[in-house]
Structure 1
Amino acid sequence: MAAKAPTTVKSVTRVFDLLELIAGAGGYLTISQISPMAGLPLTTTHRLLQTLIECGYLRQLSDRSYALGPRLVRLGEIANRQFGAIAMPQLKSLVSTLGETANLATLDDDRVVYVSQAPSPHAMRMFTEVGGRAHLHSTGVGKAILAQLSDDQVRAIAARTGLPSSTPKSIVSIDALLEDLALTRERGYAIDDGEHEVGVRCYATLVPRMPALTAISVSVPMARVDEGFADRAIPVMQGIAEEISTAANAH
């Protein structure tokens, strides 16, 4: 029986592995770091990196380290728009059930980027611009994402971005952030208690099985949050997160 032809191209796989390595490290890796991480000889690694630079998908900095290139921005924006459109029916369902604004966001270069939103029918509601970026530590979606990382990874992100204060309730110390994330892991969802916008509470949960860390949230003015809101909202949000994951992975 003839051998079955391979369905993948090794060089293409290696290229995407390199991009994932650099993205996963937050960028700024040298070739001497990349080569052993990728399990490739220096010459092969150099050739692939140079090709990516020439195509605009990587750039080399003055210290000879490599970072993601500008052409990836356009691809990312298009992919986010498409993903946001796929998730919109589920977000609208979430709004229909809970009556509050629903958001979808993904991790992007140490920030969250909002890729879709279904607005609340109420006149008083939270509005976040699709395509807008925010710090991880002060948003519900950001903390839901950070809770999936190790404490060392969280410390590294905080070292790169700082912990700027958006409101008087923002978390501004790494110890307080790690304590909050431990609580998030324990209860299974994140809360932004007026830390990003004054007078707004956000509940957020992870969207499972996504290639990039992704979360959904509902944003509620404090005046409409009662004691039982979380108990009603979280099971619904977790079900919607599963639906979004299924829809996204089917495309």
Structure 2
Amino acid sequence: MASRPTLIGSVQRALHLLDAVGANDRPVPAKLLARQVGLPLPTTYHLLRTLVHEGYLRKLEDGYVLGDHVSSLCRHTATQRLLTRTRPVLRALRDELRGAAYLSLYSDGEIRLVDVVDGPATPSADLWVGVHEAGHATAFGKCILSTLPPGERKDYLARHKLADLTPHTITDTRVLEQRLAQGGDVFDDREEYLVGTACLGSVVRGPGVVGAVAISVPAHRYAAVKTYQTAVRRAACRIARAVTLTP
């Protein structure tokens, strides 16, 4: 017979209080919460004080409501649901091409790195400059920039200086525009973001979604990277399907 898992009663009681507060449309007094959850009032007060202190609840004049920390968790829920679908794709890409795999999305006018899947034999690049500031120098950044309407891309480039990150970085807007026009749905980064690292990325397209999947390897493997276009495109298509299916 399987053994029962060890559970922490105080944690269970605190979670039940959170559920009870969240199930109500109005602030809930402590005495009502104690009755709903079936707890002694002193215990209820003790747990409520702790939850308020940690930001999971807020105490108002007429009762308790969910706190800012719960709102923050809710904002991250969609991303975590997305990762459960996309992580296997990135892991497979990493193992197939023997390089770190990346997923980035365009959100609120910025390029955001959503996930990185690496390993001891496939370390990720040292992200020494925030990727939201280096779209011009990364493979996945170029993928995303290439999909933006001209006006939106112009706005992004006006807000983000083409920083000179390495001797190979494109710092001229006209040259970057030419490169974006020529790339199709696959773009590379040959030591433009980081000396010693090469990247290849492909555009991820889905309803209401703009993003990119990319792979990074040591720069001496750049010639091999160029042969990975089919695999990276395939991963991008799988990611697009996963993004579309995520509620």
Secondary structure in 2 matching 1:146: helix
Structure 2 counterpart of 1:229, from 221, 225, 228: 225
* 1:112-153 deviation line (CA, Å, top 9, x unaligned): 211111114426652559x96443211111100111123343
**Map of 1:247 onto structure 2:** 242
Structure 2 counterpart of 1:219, from 210, 216, 232: 216
Shift of 1:236: 0.9
**Map of 2:32 onto structure 1:** none
* 1:174-229 deviation line (CA, Å, top 9, x unaligned): 101101101212xx31111211111111111011214231100001111222x343
Secondary structure in 2 matching 1:147: helix
**Map of 2:8 onto structure 1:** none
Shift of 1:82: 3.0
Matches within 5 A, 1:59-208: 77-122=76-121, 125-128=124-127, 133-185=132-184, 188-208=185-205
Note if contact 1:169-1:194 (Cα within 8 Å) is conserved in structure 2.
Answer: yes
Separation in 1, partners of 2:148, 2:104:
16
Shift of 1:238: 1.1
Q: What RMSD in Å do the two structures reach over aligned CA positions?
A: 2.7
Q: 1:164 to 1:72 in 2, by over 3 A?
A: farther
Note if contact 2:100-2:122 (Cα within 8 Å) is conserved in structure 1.
Answer: no
Separation in 2, partners of 1:171, 1:73:
37
Q: TM-score when scaled to structure 1?
A: 0.62
What one-letter code is carried by the residue in structure 2 that aligns with 1:247?
Answer: A
Identity of matched residues, %: 23
Q: 1:155 to 1:209 in 2, by over 3 A?
A: same
Secondary structure in 2 matching 1:92: helix
Q: 1:174 to 1:223 in 2, by over 3 A?
A: same
Shift of 1:241: 1.4
Separation in 2, partners of 1:122, 1:90:
18
Q: 1:212 to 1:133 in 2, by over 3 A?
A: same
Shift of 1:249: 2.0
Q: 1:133 to 1:150 in 2, by over 3 A?
A: closer
Q: 1:165 to 1:111 in 2, by over 3 A?
A: farther
Separation in 1, partners of 2:225, 2:126:
20
Note if contact 1:102-1:218 (Cα within 8 Å) is conserved in structure 2.
Answer: yes
Separation in 1, partners of 2:90, 2:167:
30
Runs of 4+ in 1 over 6 A off after TM superposition: 71-74
Separation in 1, partners of 2:170, 2:235:
28
What one-letter code is carried by the residue in structure 1 that aligns with 2:137?
Answer: S
What one-letter code is carried by the residue in structure 1 that aligns with 2:190?
Answer: D
Separation in 2, partners of 1:176, 1:89:
36
- Where in structure 1 are there 5+ consecutive unaligned residues? 1-70
Q: 1:197 to 1:75 in 2, by over 3 A?
A: farther
